[in-house]
Amino acid sequence: MVNDLFKEFAALNETDAIALGGSRAGELFDEKSDYDVYIYCTDNISEEVRKNILSKYCSKMEIGNHFWEYEDNCTLNNGIDIDILYRDLSFICEDTAAVTEQFQARNGYTTCIWHNIKTCKVIFDRNGNLAKAKERFDIPYPKELKKNIITRNSQLLYDAMPAYLFQIEKAVKRDDIISINHRTAAFMESYFDIIFAANELTHIGEKRLISYCREHCQILPKNFEENLNTLYSHLFTQKQRVPEDLRTIINELKICLNL
């Protein structure tokens, strides 16, 4: 069923390439795993055309969502969710080049798009452009990028005046649980960006971070998982302890990375 859906999209003149991402692109998936599909387009595919194709295979459809990227969020007739994202390959390559060739660090998730390009499974590639992109970015982890990610995100964690640690300490004093939660999430974005950079691994995204790091990272702070579990056990029940928990996480990170 999914292969037939792919064939219909591949037949469209606007489709340059189709890629499968997420767990379905690798080996760690089962029959219930969602599909993350990336359609690289040379022009817009009309919503009517997409709806006509998807209605044959999907029991539920939301066409043209734009909460993050432009996408169709659907449920296949077999009950499995499928997210189809429509992208411009030249834009994605420019964004990835800014990271891998110009060494630009971001506020967390720096290498996520690079990871997506590196690990996606090519389903269709009309002119070989996606294969060329994968070849272009199949490179060793740049040392300057590693340094820039660690520097920028360390400042965000604890070193700059607006660092997340200080924002969270103020939020705790105000008893502002929404702000505590919001800034702690931002703290984790930078924290994991540093860990992936230190290990010269591309960032996998927002899911299964602890288990992935445990399995793939050679460099991890002491008591990595235990300290994170302690933080989240206190986040809403003993929030006065959150700054202390964060300082423990920061200190172990600094020791680990000789910062």
CATH code at position 45:
3.30.460.10
Same-domain pairing of 87 and 65: yes
- Rounded to whole angstroms, the Cα distance separating 259 from 254 reads 5
Q: Which pLDDT belongs to residue 23?
A: 65
* Strand 35-41, strand 81-87: pairing: parallel
Q: Which amino acid is at 198?
A: A
Q: Which pLDDT belongs to residue 33?
A: 75
CB-count exposure of residue 111 (10 Å: 0-12, 13-18, 19+): buried
Same-domain pairing of 103 and 227: no
Using 50 as the pLDDT threshold, list the residues of the chain that sit under it: none
- Choose the final residue of a domain: 136, 155, 178: 136
| Number of compact structural domains in the chain | 2
Same-domain pairing of 122 and 36: yes
> Which tens digits make up the pLDDT trace of 30-49?
566 789 999 999 999 999 99
Contact between 210 and 143 (Cβ < 8 Å): no
- Choose the final residue of a domain: 78, 112, 136: 136
Same-domain pairing of 166 and 55: no
Same-domain pairing of 210 and 126: no
The residue length of the chain stands at 259
- Choose the final residue of a domain: 136, 155, 181: 136
- Rounded to whole angstroms, the Cα distance separating 235 from 245 reads 10
Q: Which amino acid is at 65?
A: N
- Rounded to whole angstroms, the Cα distance separating 127 from 66 reads 28
Contact between 113 and 92 (Cβ < 8 Å): yes
Same-domain pairing of 147 and 237: yes
The model's pTM is 0.92
Would you give the DSSP letter of residue 124? E
